[in-house]
Structure 1
Amino acid sequence: MDLRITTLIENNPDKDNLLLSEHGLSLYLEIDKIKVLFDTGKSGDFIKNAEKLKINLNDLDYVILSHGHYDHSGGFKSLVENTNKSFDLIVGNGFFNKKYKLLEEDKYKFNGNSFDEKFIDKNNISIRYVNNDLFKITKDIIFFSNFEKNTDFEMINKKFYIKKDNQYVKDDFLDEIVLAVKHEKGLIVVLGCSHIGVVNILKTIIKRTNMPIYAVIGGSHLIEADELRLNNTIEFFKENNIKLLALSHCTGENAIKKFQYEFGNNFIYNNTGNVIEII
């Protein structure tokens, strides 16, 4: 299998400063002949970057939205308005919940999607909801949800909420889904934001597949991690002999510096325009 992953947009610019960047994430995957868009950033700027990179978004087979936060789904409307919409959309169960972030006492900011299920219906988009522990679209492309929470050092940020019946309740991120590609070298795991905890996610995947993880790509949400959590995460990566870490977006500068020191050439900051090829 040949696998090529291009970061269409991310928080940091490309080295030549030719592409647009923003607080968000969008990855384009070519898995043999299958074309997958994983997240759409917070705006439609990833589309302009795709054009500059000679990537045709009219050829998409699947669009994956990892969870219902604006910085991962905000560009979806622009995608629909600027392509032929021939793809299947895959989201987690609860993706359309109204998500908010607590700014200060009793003050909440909307943090969710810029579209709803009516928009999906109006544009005749084929949508699939992932609510199984493990869901395959091919024998080699797998989605995971319902992650087990069995670490004592990973906590969901308490500032994230869902609004239900005019009440704000803590968001447990049951809508979060993760993509994995089976490769002869091991699993290639693609993350959106890892709100559940990156170690919780990876432990769950290993348990369900009984396969080693070769690479972890995407957002790890370690931006708020203390030293205990960072050290335990690093230890987990080492114990499981993960060969490639290509992290970015919500990983945070402190974690990035530690990963660069601990993993050397096995760590890549996966910024806008970066291309990863696994053959």
Structure 2
Amino acid sequence: MGALRTVDQLTVTFLVDNCIEWYRPCVSLDAVCRCAVITYSWHMSRMTKLPPGFTLELRLHLSEDHKPPIDPLTGVPFVDLENYCCGAHGFSALIETRVDGEEPHLTLFDTGPDSRSIIRNVEALQVPVHRIERIVLSHWHADHSGGMLALLRYRSRSSTSDTPRCVADVHPDQPLARGIAPLDKVIARLPADPTFEEIEAAGGLLETHSEGHAVANDTVWVSGEIPRVTSFETGLPGAVRWINGEGGSKWIKEEDIMDERYAAIDVAGKGLVLFSACSHAGIVNVVKDAVSKLSRPIYMVIGGLHLAGADFTDRIPPTVNFLANQLRPAPTYVLPMHCSGFAAKIALESVLGEGCVPAGVGIKVDVQGNREEEQTVFPPSIA
């Protein structure tokens, strides 16, 4: 596995996220009531405005490729809500990387929280599951690993005998159990992650990696351990891990979640597109590591920023300041998803404007590279 290669095209399809953003209301209000409706409709239209290259789920379903059901009464396509995507507390992104003159590669980054949402959504979006070469698991939390076994089994049923097995790329340090312990009292454990044995029994080809490595013919970088260098990003408060040791079985504090990894793709003429599923390491630490390791500017930041809730309120201002003012050049787009939280989204939108994109499940993103513009890509710096 070599160094990260630059790609000519990146396509991302969000298969699992907490939010759904598939409808753009009309701002023509001649036939509707005025007053509050005007304000609401304008606000919703503004918030769902997407940049070039972003496609809402509704448009995907109504395209000829998806063959939407036609209403026999009116002759127009149905909005077939029974078979649209559903939201779920988790994250999964299908990453397609393409270098001109070569076959594209499909990599799945995380699998959502359960066996139902991932399957419903891949069917709704008509994903060619048999072409997925590798599942990269960001970290051992069930809202990211919960759909892995169902996806692998579904892929096996969708494949022929000569289809290569799907690689399951995971961190080797799998916990026995993880729990939630606010105020040092364990109130619950998270659902079990799939074991190594279950992954292989479901058709996966297990690979464990603790170091950074390139996959998908070196078009996707999967990080190793993320260095913790900021003073304000201090992990996940109340996180605990179950261990069996000489002193017996017990819960221990584990707020750093050191098995977490991010993924990066380098798009020609633009820079890095980063996927950070939960940012337990802190998104600033993630960005700093990517800049240090890959020496490329950050074009887009995607995924959970884990800034939701009272425990993370103080982290929002320095995070926003870093992304908007200290990182140079600043990211063109930030897509705060999953566990980012409403307050963080509002704070990012206030400084980035339309550079803060309200993405959600079902949205497709096409990033087109341009090798002729490579000379205009400035090296990154951090103030």
Q: TM-score range by the shorter chain?
A: over 0.9
| Counterpart in the other structure of 1:113 | 192
SS at match of 2:357: strand
**Partners of 1:145 and 1:174 within 8 A in 2:** no
Say whether residues 1:10 and 2:17 are aligned partners: yes
Structure 1 residues 78, 226: CA separation in 2 closer, same or farther (over 3 Å shift)?
closer
What is the distance in 2 between the residues matched to 1:274 and 1:124? 28
Say whether residues 1:202 and 2:287 are aligned partners: yes
What is the distance in 2 between the residues matched to 1:231 and 1:103? 24
Structure 1 residues 258, 75: CA separation in 2 closer, same or farther (over 3 Å shift)?
same
SS at match of 1:194: coil
SS at match of 1:61: strand
| Counterpart in the other structure of 2:364 | 275
| Counterpart in the other structure of 1:170 | 253
**Partners of 1:93 and 1:174 within 8 A in 2:** no
Structure 1 residues 209, 147: CA separation in 2 closer, same or farther (over 3 Å shift)?
same
What is the distance in 1 between the residues matched to 2:202 and 2:122? 22
- Displacement after TM superposition at 1:120 (Å): 2.3
- Displacement after TM superposition at 1:106 (Å): 3.7
Letter in 2 for 1:28: L
Structure 1 residues 249, 58: CA separation in 2 closer, same or farther (over 3 Å shift)?
same
**Partners of 2:183 and 2:238 within 8 A in 1:** no
Residue segments in structure 2 that go unaligned for 5+ positions in a row: 1-7, 24-80, 99-103, 160-164, 369-383
TM-score (norm 1): 0.93
What is the distance in 2 between the residues matched to 1:150 and 1:104? 26
- Displacement after TM superposition at 1:112 (Å): 4.7
| Counterpart in the other structure of 1:93 | 172
Matched residue pairs, number?
Answer: 278
Say whether residues 1:35 and 2:106 are aligned partners: yes
**Partners of 1:68 and 1:113 within 8 A in 2:** no
Residue segments in structure 1 that go unaligned for 5+ positions in a row: none
| Counterpart in the other structure of 2:46 | none
Say whether residues 1:135 and 2:206 are aligned partners: no
SS at match of 1:164: strand
- CA deviations over 1:204-249 (Å, ceiling 9, x no partner): 1111222211111111111146554212111211232111111210
Which residue among 253, 264, 267 is the counterpart of 1:183? 267
Decide which moves more: 88-97 or 203-212: 88-97
Structure 1 residues 61-72: aligned runs within 5 Å: 61-72=133-144
TM-score (norm 2): 0.69
What is the distance in 2 between the residues matched to 1:145 and 1:99? 21
What is the distance in 1 between the residues matched to 2:179 and 2:318? 29
SS at match of 1:115: coil
- Displacement after TM superposition at 1:96 (Å): 4.3
- Displacement after TM superposition at 1:105 (Å): 4.8
Structure 1 residues 221, 136: CA separation in 2 closer, same or farther (over 3 Å shift)?
same
- Displacement after TM superposition at 1:107 (Å): 2.9
- CA deviations over 1:241-269 (Å, ceiling 9, x no partner): 11111121000000011111211111112
- Displacement after TM superposition at 1:104 (Å): 5.9
Letter in 2 for 1:102: A
**Partners of 2:140 and 2:193 within 8 A in 1:** no
- CA deviations over 1:9-44 (Å, ceiling 9, x no partner): 211123346321111111111112100111111113
What is the distance in 1 between the residues matched to 2:17 and 2:344? 17
**Partners of 1:92 and 1:174 within 8 A in 2:** no
- Displacement after TM superposition at 1:125 (Å): 2.2
Structure 1 residues 237-248: aligned runs within 5 Å: 237-238=323-324, 239-240=326-327, 241-248=330-337
- Percent identity of the aligned residues? 23
| Counterpart in the other structure of 2:318 | 232
Decide which moves more: 89-98 or 67-76: 89-98
Bigger strand share: 1
| Counterpart in the other structure of 1:213 | 298
What is the distance in 2 between the residues matched to 1:217 and 1:189? 6
Say whether residues 1:262 and 2:338 are aligned partners: no
Higher Cα Rg, which structure: 2
- CA deviations over 1:153-173 (Å, ceiling 9, x no partner): 111122111111112122231
SS at match of 1:270: coil
- Displacement after TM superposition at 1:123 (Å): 3.5
**Partners of 1:63 and 1:90 within 8 A in 2:** yes
SS at match of 1:107: coil
| Counterpart in the other structure of 2:86 | 20
Q: Please provide the CA RMSD for this pair.
A: 1.8
What is the distance in 2 between the residues matched to 1:242 and 1:40? 26
